[in-house]
Structures are given as structure tokens and as C-alpha cells.
Amino acid sequence: MKIYNTMSRQKEEFKPLEPNKIKLYSCGPTVYDYFHIGNARTFMFFDMLWRYFEFSGYEVIYVQNITDIDDKIIAKSLEAGVTFGEIADRYSRAFLEDSARLGLRKPTHQPRATEVMPEIIALIDALVQRGYAYETGGDVYFRQQALPEYGSLSGKKVDEQKTGARVEENSAKEHPADFTLWKKSKAGEPIWDSPWGLGRPGWHSECVVMSQKYLGETFDIHGGGVDLVFPHHENELAQAKAITGKPLANYWMHSGFLNIEGEKMSKSLKNFFTARDILDQYDAEVIRFFFLSKHYRSPIDFNRELIEESGRALRNIYQVLRAMDYQNYLDAEPQHLDEGVVARFKEAMDDDFNTAKAIALFFELNTLIKASQDKDEKRKYADTIVHLGKALGFFQDLAKHLSTDHDQLSTALIELVISYRQQARADKNWALSDKYRDDLKALGVALKDTPGGCQWSIET
């Protein structure tokens, strides 16, 4: 297995610290609002990563944090006139609800920053005692120039950082690039007692503590969205390196950017979508298929046409499985698998998790099922699709999708719309007749008018 390591900027052979065991950490949400569809891509990728490692025989400890104290949470609470805890609790619940709707498994550990405050304060104090941090006016900053290795993850060196978008101007700092570890609380803000007075932690210290608490000083994989490489992950690594002299993680993995219809997602452009918005419009499995049809490190363009293509692809798979009565095999173990396809699937996935190439095998197997006249052969190909699909997080509710009741209802509804179209044609209302036809086509139902009446089929 090879993994692209952000640290080395190349693919490396994956060697876990312990045989057959993987310790994995990915950054979770800052709970001041509903998480957006770009976050969903990252969360879904690491959920898939966890599943595939287990499919490959590893025992996985997966930790994903919840940041429940942060400037954005405080700003939202002041705006709403409620406590920061109420905002954090409200959106933590929403995050867990929407994660479940997306088909994401609950991590092995899901700590919150406020639960580890004593450990965060202890970390910052140790950095001060060792000369890597300094206090001024109740605030504590990390002294970047004290760590020669700073910038090893992102490639951004201390001397290259100037005041700007990600380097705040602050005359109290020794260097503009020094980042905040502890903030003196202002009136109305949450407070914790510390050696530097009442205040609260900076974001970058929280994840160091939460990851090391459950995974140890150095663990296998740390990851998140590519936007976290700098400053967040670089600053996490710096603190860990200053305290232990060891890397925080051996491999750093980052998922690519997500654009909306070719543009960066932005509230000002009115193209900002939360996962909750999208889940109200599309099935979670369709969203997963859409995301995993592209390599995780590649940027992806979120547009309706591509999502609907993913929906049609999934419907085609389910249609073929229903046609061969696969629902009769749901309670049985797979009898045989196409070992050649399984090997190609593993080859694709073990090459830096090339899900796009892996998913292409589903189409190949689907075609083989339709072409075969042999019942046992059909079963082998179908078992292979389901077996490999589950490794990526698909087919979580296979029985529902293959239900004959569900199929009968769908058929009845399609035929009802066709009857309305037939009446419109009889009334010579061609515009309405065309609208019924076009609406069905948009749902993947093709109509064909014949001398014997209207025939319909699911487009493949």
C-alpha cells in the first residue's frame, strides 16, 4: 500500500507503527454552524479510509475531534445573545445528526476541546517552560523561530511569513508569525483559569492534546482538508515536535478543494451549501458515489448534472440486482467472488486510495451480470459488487433499495404519470404531454410510444 504523504510530497509505502493496527486522526468540525458540503467530502473520505483499512484486515482506532471553543463560536453566541455552550451544543447535535444521515460511522473516540482543558493548559505551560512559548499581557504565543524545523509540513518558513491574511498584526509578538496558544478573555467571553490568568486556548493546541491523548505521542495518520495544512496542521506539528522531539504523525493526508459550479463556495456568491441542504435534495449514497468517483486529492466541482449522473449509476446497479432477485441472497454469505476483479480493486485502492478506478469496476461487473445467462455466474458478479462496495461505505441499506414493495411503488408512480401524459395527448395538450415526458426523463425513465401503447424503461 502506498499513501501520498503531504510531508514528503510524494507517495510512500505505508508502514504502520504496530503490525495490523492503525491509529488515525482527522480534524472534525468547529461547531458554530451547520457543516458545509466541502467538509462533508473530507469527513466522508476519512470514513471510507477507516472502512477500507478494516476491509484490508487492520484494526483501526479512529479519532475525530469536535472543536467546541473557538472565536467563531463566541462571535455566534454574542450575536445570538446566548452562551457559547448553547451554540456549541446546538451545532454539535446537528453535526452528529447530519453525519449519521451521510452514512458516517461514529469514530472510536470523538473528544471535545472543552473536555481536555487541563491537558491543554499543561501542554502550553510545558512549551513556556522550555522556551518555545512566551506570555505577554495574559496572552501566550508560540515562538516559531525557536523551532528550526518549522515549515516542514507546509513548506512555509518563518522568515517568509509577513503580516497578512493568515498572519495577524500584533505589536506584542516577538515575530509576526508567532501564533496564539492562549488568549486572555474579554468581557462576556468564556474563561478558564491558567498560570497566565483567565482565558481560553487557541485552536492549534486543542488538536495536539486530543490526538495524543487517544493515540500516543506519534501515531500513523493525521489528516483533514487541504486548507488545514497551514496554519493549523503545521502549528500542531510544531508544538508536538517542541515537546517530544518526535513527529506527531508519520503520514499526513489531505483531501482536495471543492468548488460549486466552477467557483469557490462563498456565502457572498450565494453558492454556499451545507451538508443538510444537500441531504434534503439527494440520497446520501448518491453523494458518496459522487465524491468517491473522483480521487480524494483532486479538486472536485460540485454540480447538479454530475450528481444526477451518480444517481443514475447507482439506480442502474440496483435495477440489475433487483432483476436477478438479489434480495433473496441478502442473508447468505457470498458463495464466490470474482478474484480477478477483487485483486484489481485492491490494486487501485492500495495506490493512494484511487476510488475513481475502484468504482469503475462496479460498472464492469454490472455489465457482466446483464450479459450472463448463468444464474451462478450472475450471483458471483453481484456478490463481488456488494462485497467491494461495502468496503467503500456503499450498500448500507441494501434491503431497502432491493425491496419489491419499493419497486412496486416506483412502478405504480411511473405508470400513474404516464396515464396523465396519455390523457394530455388525448386532449392534444402537447406542451403538458412533453413536460410529463421530460420530467420522467430527468428521473432516469425513458418513454417510447408504440402502436401498442407507451413503453417505459430505466435509462442505463
Cα-based distances in Å from 232 to 94, 176, 201, 202: 24, 16, 14, 10
What are the residues facing 445 on neighbouring strands?
Answer: 458
What is the 3 state secondary structure string of 262-317? CEECCCCCCCCCEHHHHHCCCCHHHHHHHHHCCCCCCCEEECHHHHHHHHHHHHHH
Give the model's pLDDT for residue 376. 92
Q: Which helix (H) or strand (E) holds 3?
A: strand 2-5
- Which residues, in sequence order, are CB contacts of 451 under 8 Å at separation 6+? none
Reduced to 3 states (helix: H, G, I; strand: E, B; else coil), residue 67 is strand
Tell me the Ramachandran region of residue 58: left when phi exceeds 0, alpha when psi lies from -120 to 50, beta otherwise.
beta
Which residue type is seen at 102? L
Per-position pLDDT tens, the chain of length 460: 999 999 999 999 999 999 999 999 999 999 999 999 999 999 999 999 999 999 999 999 999 999 999 999 999 999 999 999 999 999 999 999 999 999 999 999 999 999 999 999 999 999 999 999 999 999 999 999 999 999 999 998 776 665 554 555 677 899 999 999 999 998 888 999 999 999 999 999 999 999 999 999 999 999 999 999 999 999 999 999 999 999 999 999 999 999 988 788 777 677 788 999 999 889 999 999 999 999 999 999 988 889 989 988 998 999 899 889 899 888 888 778 999 999 999 999 999 999 999 999 999 999 999 999 999 999 999 999 999 999 999 999 998 888 766 566 777 788 889 889 988 988 999 999 999 999 998 888 888 887 767 878 776 5
Give the model's pLDDT for residue 165. 46
CATH of segment(s) 302-402: 1.20.120.640
The alpha-carbon radius of gyration of the chain (Å, integer) is 26
Q: Please choose, from the candidates 110, 108, 117, 104, the residue with its C-alpha nearest in 3D space to the C-alpha of residue 92.
A: 110
What are the residues facing 301 on neighbouring strands?
Answer: 259
Answer yes or no: are the C-beta atoms of 457 and 446 closer than 8 Å: yes
Cα-based distances in Å from 140 to 134, 201, 297: 6, 9, 35
**Residue-wise burial string across 185-195, b where 16 or more C-beta atoms lie within 10 A, e elsewhere:** beeebbebebe
CATH topology of domain 2-260: Rossmann fold (3.40.50)
Tell me the C-alpha distance between 371 and 379, whole Å. 13
Cα-based distances in Å from 203 to 112, 167, 206, 330: 12, 15, 6, 46
- Please state the pTM of the whole predicted model: 0.86
Q: Please choose, from the candidates 11, 2, 15, the residue with its C-alpha nearest in 3D space to the C-alpha of residue 250.
A: 15
Q: Please choose, from the candidates 81, 84, 104, the residue with its C-alpha nearest in 3D space to the C-alpha of residue 31.
A: 84
Domain locations in the chain? 2-260, 302-402, 406-458
